[in-house]
Amino acid sequence: MLNIVLHQPQIPPNTGNIARLCVATKMTLHLVHPLGFRLDDSTLKRAGLDYWKDLTWHQYFSWEDFLIEHAKGNFYYYSKKFDQPYTQANYQKGDYLVFGSETKGLPETLLQENSSKVYTIPMWGPTRSLNLATSVGIVSYEALRQVTLDFEKI
Residue 45: which of 17, 71, 66 has the closest Cα? 17
Q: In this predicted model, what pLDDT tens digit does every residue of 110-140 receive, in sequence order?
A: 999 999 999 999 999 898 889 999 999 999 9
pLDDT tens track for 138-150: 999 999 999 986 5
Identify the pLDDT of residue 127.
Answer: 87
Whole-number Cα distances in Å, 35 to 61, 78, 84, 86 = 9, 19, 28, 25
Q: What is the pTM of this model?
A: 0.92
With cut-offs at 50, 70 and 90, classify the pLDDT of residue 37.
confident
All domains of the chain, ordered by start, with CATH? 3-153 (3.40.1280.10)
Q: Yes or no: say if 34 and 60 are a contact pair by the CB < 8 Å rule.
A: no
Give the pLDDT of residue 128.
87
Q: ω into residue 13 within 30 of 0, thus cis?
A: no
pLDDT at 154 over 70: no
Q: pLDDT confidence of 1, banded at 50, 70, 90?
A: confident
Is residue 88 very low, low, confident or very high in pLDDT (cuts 50, 70, 90)?
very high
| pLDDT at residue number 149 | 64
d(CA 67, CA 69): 5
